[in-house]
Structure 1
Amino acid sequence: MRVSHRLTFGLCSVLLSSLAAAAPAPAPARDAAVAIPIPDVPYTTFTLKNGLTVIVHEDHKSPVVAINTWYHVGSKNEKPGKTGFAHLFEHLMFSGSANFDKTFLSALEGVGATDLNGTTNKDRTNYFETVPTSMVDYALFAESDRMGHLLGVLDQKKLDLQRGVVQNEKRQRENQPYGIVEQIVTENTWPANHPYSWTVIGSMTDLDAASMTDVTDWFKGHYGPNNVVLVLAGDITPQQAREKVEKYYGDIPPGPPQAHQEAWIAKRSGTHRGKVQDRVPQARIYRSWNVPGADTPEEALLDLAAQVLGGGKTSRLYQRLVVKEQLATAASAGDDSNEIAGQFGINLTAKPGAPATDVARMEALADEELRALLKAGPTAAELRLAQTTILAQFARAVERVGGFGGKSDLLARCATFTGNPDCYKTYLQRIKAATPAAVRQAMNDWLANGDYVLEVDPFPTGLAATPSTVDRSKGAPTGHPEALRLPPMQKATLSNGMKVVLAERHGAPVINLSMLLGGGFASDSQALPGLASLTLRMLEEGTGAPGRTRSALEISRELEGLGASFGTTINLDGAFVNMNVLKPTLAQALGLYADLARHPSFPQADFERVRKTRLAAIQREQTVPRLMALRVLPPLMYGAGHPYSLPLTGTGTIDAVARMRRADLVAYHDQWFKPNNATLLVVGDTTLAELTPLLERAFGAWKAGAVPAHDIAKVDQPAGTTIYLIDRPGALQSDIVGAQLAPPRNTPDTIALNLLNDVFGGTFSSRLNMDLREDKHWSYGVGTSLVAARGQRILYSDSPVQTDKTADALRELAREYAELGSARPVTPRELQDAQANETLGLPGSFETVGQLSNAYSTILQYGLPEDYYNTYTAAALALTPAQLNALAARVVLPRQPVWIVVGDMSKIEAPIRALNLGTVRRIDVDGKPLP
């Protein structure tokens, strides 16, 4: 569960870039951009007698159904002194209801739900899950039961528990770098009585004061079916949906008449400034204006303005501040459109150690770029790129039925706030119709330098509940695992020996390209950790093919003009060069894609800039508690000199990155980027017959060559128990990481290990999370992870806990580790829950071409059977508790994990030492011993 900001496709909170106002951008590809069609998400809608609005969208490509429930209540419905209620109640609604008295997340995980969560923002609370088709009745029973039958089991214990969880969430958010910003900005940009003048998560004082009467009255006032939009999208027909919804929801009485706030922009005048100090490595400037909100003509125009001003590498601020002047390492601009008002913002992050004069100059130059855009407006080419970016987002949105940004989310948002599920089409038509003059006018109206009206509408007549046909005492109906049949991997080999793997997925005009290269973090030398990832990062900064060069700016323009996205990723054993394209632009995009992979030019000036950004990123990692631990963990596990012993983030060290030269990147690329070290994985709307000639043209001239070999030696688990302490003065929480070595990703026990991880810490209902979050509420959330690797991998737990419970939490964690599989064996029920989580959730994990590509990449990189996912369910269901307990005995044999604790040592060191769990050592952020 999380506090979220309102999610819309109209929201363009994007990274800031900067283009000198006088420099016109060249035209993008002619057949991309505004020619991208507006998607159509067909739907059927009906309203129950109790006022519940229901929307149904059919999509039978996968046997799953997304269920998206939007309550038209958020933090703006609260009152001063009683803030945080909407978000607190979001948590309470996960605690169980009269006939479904279970932890909701655990129960839904157990029937295969994916994209499962709940969020609260200023304007609404939503709950969503994508479930196997056979589990729709189960999910609708659960959702309807907490809508209509919640208060019967809501007691003081549950209120106190979830209040503690929410307060830990607040501490965890504020414990992050820049975590205090939201509170300060919110309180200083809205009038004191404005519905947006307090944060969604609320204040500690208000949360402490919330009584059972308060929360009961809150529920009764806002959570009736007449204040709800329910969307079912996926493998279901309107007739089936109507029958099921009437069955489970029809007997819920309507709530009281609702009062909804009309637009209240609260436009400000003048300039007001504030200053605050925080424990962060870089100065940052936040600048915001109150502007019209969502579903207004101004929203689309200001979204486009944000894209031009700060929407990517071609944008004006990025080019001016990050590339040309190199005063900033990051910047962003966005138009955050909420229901009754919005905020347009500019965020600028100065380079590390920048003096006050540089910070002031960065701010002044950003203002200069803004004023230039206010004066002349965007160029036609800039506007076209901005339009393409937004339209391309929607072209990809139709892949998914659930989750943030999926089709169910799109329909629910529009219906909740406008009454028209098609409102996104109006928004996109405004995007397409926008002109430079219109964007300029909107900017001058709202960015160049309040009245509240209450309308009372008649309460609808005829609302009533219908007799129930559901015997809720029998509990929710259950289903079964759905069959999984992923598209087969088709294979080809180019004339130069490069392997090609294709998985066809038709339905959306989207194609994902992923080049898998051997290497990864493990290919870094001990002298230059971070070289591999920095080389991958530099691919998009320029190309130098014979007779054809591209600058970083030209690359960004070409990508935007094609409606394509490019990026690289890297893990311990491999590197990935990725491009997501639209089918109409595939042929053009392949030429650019091949050039980026084969002919990076590593321009010296861009290398220096990116290196500074990487150094700043490492400094940021050394302030984030979890990353601080993960950076120093590998050498403690594998020993110095092992290929896996470098920082787990892959960014390297400050010393190594500072010593890197352009020639190092060139040499790394020459060594590892060879067609015989690459497999090109293509997933999406194409065929091998039409794809192969295009790939031959793009890659056929690439020559094979020798590739370095590197062995991953096996090591022993570190002996004994050692607790490493990293001081973070003033920390509001402590972060406890415990780690052990586990078998490689392709071990025959891989599925059993996944199930064991689920039981121990890998799911919401796992032992560790239930202990520290749900039982003791010392933490917002605890979990375990398995780091994928071809060699031994790390199994680690991450436990952010409140400071005064650090030693107690560490003792609890050590007990849980020691008892797994021996003193406390895995029970049949725990195994059953883990099996349900692993198998029932599979169909919801392969909706998009990106998800499919990730799955096939896993198979290819780790040498798993091609039918790994198709046979996963049967293999998981065949396992027994005895097998998991035997595996626990092997994997967690030493029962002496390596511990790293990051926190305020002045408060936690003495209690930790008093535990006598093992040797205690203090280290710095680089893992070096301290006295």
Structure 2
Amino acid sequence: MRLSKTLTAMAVATVLLGGCQATAQQSQANNAAVVQQQNLPDVDISYESFTLDNGLRVVVHEDRKAPIVAVNVWYGVGSKDESQGQTGFAHLFEHLMFNGTENYDDEYFGPFERAGATDMNGTTNNDRTNYFQNVPTPALDMALWMESDRMGHLLGAVTQAKLDEQRGVVQNEKRQGEAQPYGRVFGFLAEQTFPEGHPYSWSVIGSMEDLNAASLDDVHQWFNDYYGAANAVVVLAGDIDVETAKAKMNKYFGDIDAGKPLKKIESWVAKREGTKRATMEDNVPAPRLYKLWNTAEMGTADSDYLGLLVDILASGKNSRLYQRLVYDEQIASMVSGFNYERVLAGQFFIIADAKPGVDMDRIEAIIDEEVAKIIAEGPTAEELARTKFSTVAGFVRGAERIGGFGGKSDILAAGEVYHGDPGFYEQSMEHLKTATPAKVQAAAERWLSDGAFVLNVVPQPNYTTIEGQADRSELPEVGELPQLDLPELTTFTLSNGLEVALAERHDVPTVQMRLVIDSGYASDFGGKVGTASYTMSMLREGTATRDSLELSKELESLGTNLYASASLDNSTVSMDALVTNLEPSLDIMADILMNPAFSEEEIERKRGLWIENIKKEKAQPTAQAFRVLPQLIFGDNHAYSVPFTGSGTEASINSLTREDLVDHANTWLRPDMSRLVIVGATTEAEIKPLLEAYLGDWENPAAAAPEKQFTAVAPQQEARVYLIDQPGTPQSTIIAGHLAPSSNVDNAEAIDVMNTILGGSFTSRLNMNLREDKGWSYGARSSWYSAEEAGMMLATAPVQTDKTKESIQEILKELNGYLGDNPASDDELAKVVANKTAKLPGAYETKSALLGSIVSTLEKGKDMTWLESYGQRVRALEVDTIRDTADDVLRPNALTWVIIGDLSLIEDDVRSLNLGTVTKLDSNGNPL
């Protein structure tokens, strides 16, 4: 593969373009970038492909690092293949594909949950529909049997009842999306920016009218038209070779019919002339500007150039529009952009949120200035080099995974379906390599100079099939699953007392680390809520020697991700760096930790954005509930009685001073309250000297280490109801919770499994009831929100407004039944145990997953042996234990209900349930 060589040459050439015009400081930065990009890591997505006699295309990528296989099935059909009056069919059919087949007429997820599948889902977009999952190697036959069964043996199981059920689920998905702030925008933009009849002029999810009109015959015809073997691609990536793949694919898929010859539009670029404007009114927290142009289709050089351009203009702190609108003039709280690549045509988006009182025309004028400047002058060589390298670093990280969104199987499938070439990503890299400021400038001039919105036939080969080889009378059994085998954990202590834990993982040349500090939101108790989060966020806003923009630019040039944040019980500084750039990355990490500037200017700049974010939280129903629910459950005098978003309140954030932030950092950010956990391509001998050099000078203050203060909290003894009005919303958001044990209890596995049966998985009781049986919700869940001192047990269900009362009754029915005449069953326990244990070998494929589990294990005072024995502990659980755990933990008669919706439509119904005292709250959680 040519990736590393071409990108190295590209990076060097690009940086040299601007050398004669650079200042000494810029020249030094550019020279550093050259050195960094010459060390660009090599990522080789090797593959072999073949086509079955029936036209089914198969791509195989061998990666033996974990005993798992990614199965990624793409069909060349999306919403662009629909017709007006039948919109939403592609997405509706994706849902139906999970509801059973002629030979397995049951929920599709069941066998996969038992086998420990991960990264499992199905998605639809304008151009394709895909279905994917990662399975342990012994489960591959099962997965291929299931995927081939729904490709070749589906229609007999698609009944009117299933159509009606999934139609309801999809319509609730549509309602849920449109209930979010700005949730109606993209459907409107599709109608307004593409000509009538263009396949992109309607949304993927379709219209309510078309979904209601969909008949069973229509749905069956859709399958016959588009779901033939010749219109599909299967990618197998991971613990497999091509010979094995050929045998298995012929066995399971070789007898499936090729399907109908298809007529497909290949390109319809809808370039516009003139400027068109529209205004939409909606329930949103801030005015937002969308400016877009119709542009070149996916796979073209111009599309790739525009992808680079949008990053330079509107992506991240170093983008021109962020610096103008958010940083310098401070008239916008957010600016972003993206190049929306699709097969027939593209679109170039710039989006900005106005701060209160700011005229939208002023923001648009600055956007126009910067676009005009790019068209006239092009980007600088430094901007282009930095953006290229950041893009490649993101590609390297995505290619660590075999499956899921952006993994290697996804990359190969996209290349084959969209371009007829699994390795098409190399063509995109070639465009990246040859991009120059002049080429990007020319693309901008071609596509962004006008047309803003302020919104071939070939005979089908003679395919044949082979005689069916797979036994369709029963599902293949999953073979013996491999045991979990994690890397050893090496621990050592730095000279300043900082504990370090290292797990080596040498698959791709990156190192991830997380500094965990015992503080978090809980450390705000007795002070100003939001202080911990604000302080940690300020670490990235400049040091004594690097200002905020310099810091961000340097990290981007290194391809390093560096974040500082707080959670309920901890504060963290996390870093993900390429091995070649580990030392300069550590230098920056140490600098932000030990030398934060806490610039008054940056504090004030962030304050306005922070307040705007709090307003957005209040406009989003689930986030709003998580702002008010903790105080209702923990009471007023508890360290956890704070918004679980961590953002604090407008009043507390407005009162924060620089001294508050400095005091928090000096009090809580210290080595003796911290642990550094590292996972990556390094050894103790390599990393310890670097840590001593950069973190060894981090000293403890003279004062004794502080401790978080926790007060006793008594469980609520009776039910209470709190209502928050959101007029006009098409959904109600129901959250019910009560106090629960902490994460450190001895029976944590039993609580987790008990919750999973109730509402913690797709096939759990709550979701099967409200989504699959009733069709009232896109998804209902329960969760054990476990923390260091105590936890919450929550049931969450966004539901259609006219089913609010009935949904509450169903939630209570499930909870009371779980404790009464319908307790956890042996079959439910066996399914959950199988799922939780079978997926373990593949659960730690990525460094981030392994890092998170090690951090959690060490925080509990446990070791790697304990982590590796998780499966044994879960397998030892008995159904009586799960039932007893439910009796001990669940208290449906003492729930605190927070219900957010249009009270003019739901309040009387909720009150008629007589659940308990009803109190109406404002958006801040204050009683009305």
Give the shorter-chain TM-score range.
over 0.9
SS in 2 for 1:422: helix
Q: In 2, Cα distance between the equivalents of 1:328 and 1:365?
A: 11
The 5-angstrom pairing of residues 720-735 of structure 1 reads 720-735=718-733
Which position in structure 2 is the counterpart of 1:410?
411
SS in 2 for 1:490: strand
Which position in structure 2 is the counterpart of 1:673?
669
Amino acid at match of 2:577: V
Q: In 1, Cα distance between the equivalents of 2:390 and 2:664?
A: 33
Deviation at 1:398, TM superposition (A): 2.0
Deviation at 1:387, TM superposition (A): 0.4
Q: Across the two proteins, how many residue pairs are aligned to each other?
A: 898
SS in 2 for 1:335: strand
Q: In 2, Cα distance between the equivalents of 1:686 and 1:780?
A: 44
Which position in structure 2 is the counterpart of 1:466?
466
Which position in structure 2 is the counterpart of 1:607?
603
Deviation at 1:384, TM superposition (A): 0.6
> Which 5+ residue runs of structure 1 have no aligned equivalent?
1-20
Q: In 1, Cα distance between the equivalents of 2:109 and 2:529?
A: 40
CA contact (8 A) 1:32 1:388 kept: no
Q: In 2, Cα distance between the equivalents of 1:130 and 1:123?
A: 23
Q: String of CA shifts for 1:205-227, please: whole Å, max 9, x gaps.
A: 00000001111111000001100
Aligned with 2:573 (options 577, 602, 606)? 577
Q: String of CA shifts for 1:21-43, please: whole Å, max 9, x gaps.
A: 99996535332247525522011
Amino acid at match of 1:187: E
Which position in structure 1 is the counterpart of 2:784?
786
Q: Does 1:701 align with 2:697?
A: yes
Which position in structure 2 is the counterpart of 1:382?
383
Which position in structure 1 is the counterpart of 2:399?
398
Which position in structure 1 is the counterpart of 2:176?
172
Aligned with 1:648 (options 644, 656, 659)? 644
Which position in structure 1 is the counterpart of 2:489?
489
Aligned with 1:715 (options 713, 716, 738)? 713
Deviation at 1:830, TM superposition (A): 0.6
SS in 2 for 1:867: helix
CA contact (8 A) 1:488 1:503 kept: yes
CA contact (8 A) 1:817 1:895 kept: no
SS in 2 for 1:890: helix
Deviation at 1:243, TM superposition (A): 1.3
CA contact (8 A) 1:34 1:432 kept: no
Q: Answer 1 or 2: which has greater helix percent.
A: 2
Which position in structure 2 is the counterpart of 1:16?
none
SS in 2 for 1:785: strand
Which position in structure 2 is the counterpart of 1:757?
755
Amino acid at match of 1:177: P
Q: In 1, Cα distance between the equivalents of 2:242 and 2:423?
A: 17
Amino acid at match of 1:735: T
In 2 relative to 1, CA 729–682 (structure 1 residues): closer, same or farther, beyond 3 Å?
same
The 5-angstrom pairing of residues 461-860 of structure 1 reads 461=462, 463-544=463-544, 549-705=545-701, 706-860=704-858
- Range 861-870 or range 555-564, more displaced: 861-870
In 2 relative to 1, CA 493–35 (structure 1 residues): closer, same or farther, beyond 3 Å?
closer
Q: In 1, Cα distance between the equivalents of 2:262 and 2:115?
A: 35
Amino acid at match of 2:376: K
Amino acid at match of 2:705: V
Q: Does 1:188 align with 2:184?
A: no
SS in 1 for 2:776: coil
Deviation at 1:526, TM superposition (A): 4.2
CA contact (8 A) 2:46 2:61 kept: yes
Q: In 2, Cα distance between the equivalents of 1:893 and 1:608?
A: 45
Which position in structure 2 is the counterpart of 1:346?
350
CA contact (8 A) 2:540 2:564 kept: no
Q: In 1, Cα distance between the equivalents of 2:162 and 2:479?
A: 29
Which position in structure 1 is the counterpart of 2:9?
none
TM-score norm. by structure 2 comes to 0.95
CA contact (8 A) 2:638 2:713 kept: no
Q: String of CA shifts for 1:340-371, please: whole Å, max 9, x gaps.
A: 111011001111x224x3x2211111111111
Q: In 2, Cα distance between the equivalents of 1:756 and 1:656?
A: 38
SS in 1 for 2:546: strand
Q: In 1, Cα distance between the equivalents of 2:264 and 2:855?
A: 48
In 2 relative to 1, CA 168–34 (structure 1 residues): closer, same or farther, beyond 3 Å?
farther
Aligned with 1:887 (options 885, 888, 891)? 885
Q: String of CA shifts for 1:254-288, please: whole Å, max 9, x gaps.
A: 10112221111110010000001111111000011
Q: In 2, Cα distance between the equivalents of 1:38 and 1:120?
A: 32
- Range 152-161 or range 806-815, more displaced: 806-815
Q: String of CA shifts for 1:717-749, please: whole Å, max 9, x gaps.
A: 111011111111111100000112221112111
CA contact (8 A) 2:177 2:183 kept: yes
Amino acid at match of 2:457: V
SS in 1 for 2:260: coil
Amino acid at match of 2:362: R
CA contact (8 A) 2:525 2:638 kept: no
Amino acid at match of 1:272: K
Deviation at 1:69, TM superposition (A): 0.3
Q: Does 1:861 align with 2:863?
A: no
Amino acid at match of 1:642: H
TM-score norm. by structure 1 comes to 0.95
The 5-angstrom pairing of residues 280-429 of structure 1 reads 280-351=284-355, 353-355=356-358, 357=359, 359-429=360-430
> Which 5+ residue runs of structure 2 have no aligned equivalent?
1-20
Q: In 2, Cα distance between the equivalents of 1:808 and 1:419?
A: 50
Amino acid at match of 1:732: P
Deviation at 1:477, TM superposition (A): 2.6
Q: Does 1:59 align with 2:63?
A: yes
Q: In 1, Cα distance between the equivalents of 2:497 and 2:41?
A: 38
Deviation at 1:77, TM superposition (A): 0.3
SS in 2 for 1:708: coil
CA contact (8 A) 1:164 1:777 kept: yes
Deviation at 1:870, TM superposition (A): 1.2
Q: String of CA shifts for 1:276-306, please: whole Å, max 9, x gaps.
A: 1111111000011111121111122111111
Deviation at 1:478, TM superposition (A): 2.4
Deviation at 1:707, TM superposition (A): 2.3
Which position in structure 1 is the counterpart of 2:8?
none
SS in 1 for 2:259: coil
Aligned with 1:264 (options 257, 262, 268)? 268
CA contact (8 A) 1:317 1:331 kept: yes
Aligned with 2:926 (options 913, 925, 928)? 928
The 5-angstrom pairing of residues 206-217 of structure 1 reads 206-217=210-221
In 2 relative to 1, CA 724–504 (structure 1 residues): closer, same or farther, beyond 3 Å?
same
Q: Does 1:140 align with 2:133?
A: no
CA contact (8 A) 1:38 1:428 kept: no
In 2 relative to 1, CA 803–22 (structure 1 residues): closer, same or farther, beyond 3 Å?
farther
Which position in structure 2 is the counterpart of 1:14?
none
Amino acid at match of 2:772: E
In 2 relative to 1, CA 848–266 (structure 1 residues): closer, same or farther, beyond 3 Å?
same
Q: In 2, Cα distance between the equivalents of 1:662 and 1:278?
A: 37
Report the identity percentage.
44
Q: In 1, Cα distance between the equivalents of 2:38 and 2:126?
A: 32
Amino acid at match of 2:506: H
Q: In 2, Cα distance between the equivalents of 1:179 and 1:467?
A: 49
Q: Which has the higher contact order (CA 8 A, sep 6+)?
A: 1
